[in-house]
Chain A
Amino acid sequence: MSRRRNPWLHRALGLLLGGVFLYAAHEKVLDPRPLVTIIWNYRILPPGPVNLMAIYMPWLELVVGLGLITGYKRRAAAGWASALLLAFMFALLVNAVRGVNVACGCFSTSATQTNNAWLLVLRDLPMLAAALWMLVFPPKKQPTRSRA
């Protein structure tokens, strides 16, 4: 079996990345209101959909985190994780290019904790690599044995 399709590697990556997503989601799921300000401060979305994003994105992080950890349809969870990470990195890159260090809202809902946007993009890269790995190289399905 190819090493990159090793199921244990996928379980380990799923646990690590899923843990990060669960940790990122917990505060936002409990209270999404401060997230509105954070998303607004990225200055990418118009005012209308900002609230929708604050309502649903934490739950997507939570469900994806659970999927990665439990392995339930892990490839789909990895697909969503990749999409989320790409979206986060795009938003951070836009602000890095603008020269604005935004409060990322990555692991907390504090609108006052700003970070260097370039460093945040770099921090997201290994997570994106892990998510893409699980998406592109799914473990081979074991052939089912016939009892006949």
Chain B
Amino acid sequence: MLAFHAVSRELLRDALLYLAVVLVLGTAANVLPGRGLAWWGQGKQPPQTGVDFAWLDAASVEALRAALPKVTIIDTRPPSEFAANHVEGALSLPYTEASARLTPALLQRLQGSDAVILYGSSPEADTEQLLAQELRLLGVAPPHILIGALEAWVANGLPVAQGGTP
């Protein structure tokens, strides 16, 4: 019985050591610039199709841009990827830097746009969905998300550009 207690105590101590390491690493990683998640959920629903955003294919995005005067296309990828290749006329607004880059002037521009289209590098568009929800909550009309991400745009032979943040 004594031996059992000794082993249990050792196991508990080791388990707590693991927990301490996890708390230190997780906290350190989450305070890294450009990475932080809110510590406590804000009670938001996950982004929903038809409420926070709508999907749009590459050809329709190009048609929309030709038909409407004020269409804003936003690239959510890191600036280095944006500089290498992006949709012609797109703005760079990486999700992790959105709070810093979303100036009142830019927000006003987005609120006044006929359509806002978001794209990134992943067809899953998790990041774009989160950004779309945030923009909608800031008063922007529910943005569209490019189906198939930048890859689909390029595959359709639509215009791209290179260079830094416009």
Which A positions have Cβ atoms within 8 angstroms of B?
29, 32-34, 36-37, 40-41, 46-52, 54-56, 58-60, 62-64, 67, 73, 75-77, 79-80, 109-112
Contacts and interface: CB of A to CB of B under 8 A. Distances in A.
A33 B126 contact: yes
Nearest to A56: B26
Interface residues of B, number: 31
B46 interface: yes
A60 B26 CA distance: 9
B39 interface: yes
Contact of A76 (B11, B23, B26): B11
B155 interface: no
A109 B125 CA distance: 11
Interface string B1-45: 000000000010011011101110111011000000111111111
B40 A79 contact: no
B26 A55 contact: yes
B77 to A, nearest CB: 13
Given A33-B127, A33-B130, A55-B26, A76 B41 contact: no
10 contacts: A33-B127, A34-B124, A40-B41, A51-B41, A56-B23, A59-B25, A60-B22, A60-B26, A73-B14, A80-B18
Nearest to B129: A37
B29 A29 contact: yes
Given A48-B41, A55-B37, A59-B22, 5 more contacts: A33-B127, A36-B37, A37-B130, A56-B22, A75-B14
A63 B44 CA distance: 30
B39 to A, nearest CB: 6
A79 B22 CA distance: 15
Contact of B41 (A50, A58, A80): A50
A61 B111 CA distance: 42
A67 B39 contact: no
Interface in B36-95: 37-47, 95
